[in-house]
Amino acid sequence: MRFKSTLWTITDSCPPPHCQFETECDEDLPQGEKVVTYKRTHRVCPIHRATGLTGQELYDRAAGENTRKSFALALASEISGLPRDRFTWGYDDQRLLHISPKEDTTPEQKKLVQNALDLQFGPSKTIVD
């Protein structure tokens, strides 16, 4: 097994100075079977510092929010037919993810996207504005 370390700076869903983690993955595993594991924390953003979490729990929270954002945008794009960059997004003070289409979408399109996100992440975790 050859382990490769990677530094991951979460530049979009963490405010500066962005959370930065060292992760590790086994290079010999085929693509699709690679598992990225948390190794250590290099830097913590103010939002995640305020949670009081450390180590693996901190990584799970910060990485989870980033993954949720990426997945939600992909899902919103797929369902609405709009490209991913036609949505704005952000986390509010409660760390709820808000996604807003930049252009006109019908109430039906928004409802479809909202329903899909609720199914994926649980109700009221991600809000389509």
- By beta-carbon proximity to Zn ion, the closer residue of 14 and 99 is 14
Smallest distance, Zn ion to C-beta of residue 15, A = 7
Is position 62 an interface residue for Zn ion (rule: CB under 5 A)?
yes
Smallest distance, Zn ion to C-beta of residue 17, A = 9
Is position 53 an interface residue for Zn ion (rule: CB under 5 A)?
no
Q: Which of residues 19-38 bind Zn ion (CB under 5 A)?
A: 19
Burial of 64 (0-12, 13-18, 19+ CB in 10 A): exposed
Residues for the chain: how many in total?
Answer: 129
Distance between CA atoms of residues 104 and 100, nearest Å: 10
Candidates 21, 41, 48, 87; binder of Zn ion (CB under 5 A) is: 48
Burial of 61 (0-12, 13-18, 19+ CB in 10 A): middle
Torsion, Cα 105 65 9 85, to 10 degrees, reads -10
Is position 45 an interface residue for Zn ion (rule: CB under 5 A)?
yes
- By beta-carbon proximity to Zn ion, the closer residue of 44 and 75 is 44
Enumerate binding residues for Zn ion (CB under 5 A): 14, 19, 45, 48, 62
